[in-house]
Amino acid sequence: MAAPALCVQCGTQLAPTLLACPSCQRLVYSEELKRLATTAEQAAHAGDWTAALGGWRQALDLLPPDSSQHQIISARIAELSRVVDGGSSADATRHGSSKLAKGTAGASVVGALLLKFKFALVFVLTKAKLLLLGLTKGGTLFSMLLSAGAYWTMWGWKFAVGVVLSIYVHEMGHVQALQRYGIKATAPMFIPGIGAVIRLKQYPANPREDARVGLAGPLWGLGAALAAYAAYLATGLGVWGAIAHFGGWVNLFNLTPVWQLDGARGFRALTQAQRWGAVAVIALAWVVTKEGLLLLVLVAAAAAAGWGRAPQERDQPALLQYGFLVGVLSLLTRIGVPTVPR
């Protein structure tokens, strides 16, 4: 879509970055906006909330931030992304009840169980597909190998591979959340020695989305660390314990509410009172585990609670997710790991 050189309404010359005509205020991309609105509404009508969100976000990029349309569409995005959060479970219940109504009592119980299993399976398969999808992207694979190389020299290859995979799973948590909300982003790029980054092509429309996307990384990362811990318990191999320990530590570090870290995104949705609640959880986790990293997280959280600009509207899921993550990840850092070989 090329930027028009002249306003179609008044003929004023338009700079390529303008979204509205400076003299008559006509929206430069009004035709494109109409098209996007129609597609988004159709998608919403068909129940494809993610596609609808994607359409509205594209429209948002073409509107001046101070326009009334921008406000209306932002509100629509906030509304739809709430539906995305609760939508799948509502859908599942609907399917379940219709199936149950058809069967006899005994069969319906089995049917309900099978249905649950099917949903679990579909869930696992979707995640697996997503992970493979990310791996096949050339840049991601290359930068991941580069990252693995840097760690290799320090820790030995088994640990290096485990660490890079843990970080990869963490990043795919963000990617999955972004996809769900229809937010465009790049595939994760691995930076040797630092971790990985995803560049967003669009931004979450509100603190709630920001928190969901931000905390999805540590949530998936926790899953990877717990899987490594389970492997450690099953096999007794020290390297699994080291990977789980590292996973606990690195995801906990990411929960520090400063700068661009995931914790800062999570905190964006918390009210001042909720932030103090998070501070209390972090302090408690420190009392229990004595993990030094928690002191850093605690100081940053207290600063964000005391001086940071907080929203008025409470976001209970964000606080629950944050507190849960701090608690379980702190416990993972207590895993006694045999000295890393070499």
Place of tokens 């799973």: 169
**Of residues 216-245, those binding Zn ion (CB under 5 A):** 217
Near Zn ion by CB under 5 A, which window of 141-149, 161-169, 261-269, 328-336? Answer: 261-269
Among 20, 21, 242, 293, binds Zn ion (CB under 5 A): 21
Say if CB 177 and CB 212 are below 8 A apart.
yes
Is residue 3 close enough to count as binding Zn ion by CB under 5 A?
A: no
| Cβ nearer to Zn ion, comparing 21 with 189 | 21
Is residue 9 close enough to count as binding Zn ion by CB under 5 A?
A: yes
Structure tokens at 301: 């959280």
Question: Pick from 244, 255, 162, 257: which is nearest to 216 by CA?
Answer: 255
What are the helix (H) ranges across the chain? 30-45, 49-61, 68-102, 105-136, 138-155, 157-180, 207-235, 238-254, 262-268, 272-289, 293-307, 316-332
| Cβ nearer to Zn ion, comparing 76 with 212 | 212
Is residue 329 close enough to count as binding Zn ion by CB under 5 A?
A: no
Is residue 10 close enough to count as binding Zn ion by CB under 5 A?
A: yes
Say if CB 166 and CB 243 are below 8 A apart.
yes
| Cβ nearer to Zn ion, comparing 54 with 218 | 218
Is residue 12 close enough to count as binding Zn ion by CB under 5 A?
A: yes
Count CB atoms within 10 A of the CB of residue 51.
16
Among 3, 6, 24, 90, binds Zn ion (CB under 5 A): 24
Element (H, E) at 128: helix 105-136
Is residue 89 close enough to count as binding Zn ion by CB under 5 A?
A: no
Near Zn ion by CB under 5 A, which window of 34-42, 114-122, 209-217, 283-291? Answer: 209-217
**Of residues 56-85, those binding Zn ion (CB under 5 A):** none
| Cβ nearer to Zn ion, comparing 148 with 325 | 325
Say if CB 263 and CB 256 are below 8 A apart.
yes
Place of tokens 């004595």: 290
Is residue 20 close enough to count as binding Zn ion by CB under 5 A?
A: no
Is residue 182 close enough to count as binding Zn ion by CB under 5 A?
A: no
Element (H, E) at 197: strand 195-197
In whole angstroms, what is the distance from residue 330 CA to residue 342 CA? 26
| Cβ nearer to Zn ion, comparing 21 with 285 | 21
| Cβ nearer to Zn ion, comparing 181 with 232 | 181
Say if CB 205 and CB 184 are below 8 A apart.
no
In whole angstroms, what is the distance from residue 21 CA to residue 233 CA? 65
Is residue 7 close enough to count as binding Zn ion by CB under 5 A?
A: yes
The residues that touch Zn ion, with contacts defined as CB under 5 A, are 7, 9-10, 12, 21, 24, 26, 217, 262
